Amino acid sequence: MTLPLENQIRAAFAAERANMQKVTDPDQIPPDFECISNAWLTAHLCKAVPGAEVVGHSLGEPDEGTNNRRRILLQYNDAGAAAGLPSSIFAKATNGLRNRLMLAHSGAIHCEVTFYREVRDGITFETPRAFHAAYDPHSFNSIILLEDLGDSAFLDLTSHGSPDLMRRQLSLLARLHASGFGGAGMASRLANLPSWKTRFSALMQVNLEKACTDGLAVCRDRIPADLWERRAEIWPVTVASLDFEASTGPTLCHGDVHLHNWYFRPDGTLGISDWGVTHIGPWGRDLAYCLVAGLPVDVRRSHEDELMQHYLDALVANGGPAITLDEARTACKSGIMTALAFWTMTAAPVAEMPDMQPADTALAFVERLAAAVSDWNALDFEQTP
């Protein structure tokens, strides 16, 4: 299939490849990590320190996924070194054609750059700082320069996931959601983010239904028997869930709150990264996704009501609306469907998509999410408040 922006993006990509050179103009976006110059880095990393310059840099190993990612190691002149400028940063880009095709059509490039340029400064909880974020709305080349948190900071399926940790995750999530109800000042910051229906519908352009259907088959052994028997209903119910509206209305949501996007600072502060799916939408989807993906199935079953109530109490404590537990269960039943789609898609990406996650990670999250769809009878849920 030919995607709506595909010819435009392919032509721009080919033009870039035909003219690969070092980029020094800070307003330009390097077409490849190898095209980054010391002068370009100086413009974005040293602007707050008079006389500071990047005098050398090197690239870490490629880290390919939904985005193209590299660590950049930095050397400064005396002024930069004395100011304690970062010795390394973490860069996310869309240098690859498949990455660009998917993230342009899904809206992810726009969402993440918009978050760091327009929303991040209004956030009071822990999330990475960006030194620079930009994208070209014609070629959909992009780059975001982030503080380097280190690989060991991020949570992992094999070593994390407990009710105590989940309470901390849900407390942060409540702060995020409460901020979206925060009045005209925050509303103006959020004006350029899409709705959840718009965001997910954009992703549907990238042959999403086929990826999700194929992913179910790949994960066959991880799908509960009752859900597998009704697999033909999963996609229609997923699409119908986009029309659900909670009585409290939409708010600022992260959109991809699986365990690997959370991290610890050295002092133990918990934070969340990767804002490519941020949007204005139903808080229940974030709540369901976080709760289900972050815990083994048996642990989630034993603690889900108590943990949902913890989130609801934290939401009120942070200035958000009062929501009943029954309302939260209803919102979670709706929200879990598109969360499942995110991981069945990842288990079997189609030609229009990059390889986004390791296969064992996709299988583990599909198992957790599919169990919740079955436990909550989400296929029988009518998408009305």
Locate the domains of the chain by residue range: 6-147, 153-380
385: CB partners within 8 A, 6+ apart: 244, 245, 246, 247, 330
Residues 33 and 91 sit within 8 Å (Cβ to Cβ) = yes
For residues 332 and 141, what is the distance between their CA atoms, to the nearest angstrom?
Answer: 35
- Determine the Cα–Cα distance for residues 83 and 94; give it in Å rounded to an integer: 31
Please tell me the pTM assigned to this model: 0.95
Identify the pLDDT of residue 249.
Answer: 85
The CA distance from 78 to 233, in Å, is 63
Nearest to 268 by CA among 177, 173, 164: 164
**363/355 Cα distance (integer angstroms):** 14
Could you tell me which of 255, 221, 241 has the C-alpha nearest to residue 347? 221
Average pLDDT in the 152-179 region? 94
Residue 385 clears pLDDT 60, i.e. is over it: no
Report pLDDT digits (tens) over 278-312: 999 999 999 999 999 999 999 999 999 999 999 99
Report pLDDT digits (tens) over 92-150: 999 999 999 999 999 999 999 999 999 999 899 999 999 999 999 999 999 999 999 98
pLDDT band at residue 381 under the 50/70/90 scheme: confident
Please, which pLDDT band fits residue 356 given cuts at 50, 70 and 90? confident
Q: What is the dihedral of CA 375, 275, 213, 198, to 10 degrees?
A: 100
Q: What is the mean pLDDT of the chain?
A: 94
**pLDDT tens string 305-353:** 999 999 999 999 999 999 999 999 999 999 999 999 999 999 999 888 8
If one looks up domain 6-147 in CATH, what number appears? 3.30.200.20
Tokens standing for residue 10: 């392919």
Q: Which residues, other chains included, contact 11 with Cβ-Cβ below 8 Å and sequence gap of 6+?
A: none
Cβ neighbours of residue 71 closer than 8 Å, sequence gap 6 or more:
59, 60, 61, 63, 88, 89, 90, 91, 148
**pLDDT at residue number 319:** 94
DSSP helix/strand/coil, 4: coil
To the nearest 10°, the Cα dihedral for 128, 289, 197, 283?
Answer: -80
CATH class of 153-380: mainly alpha
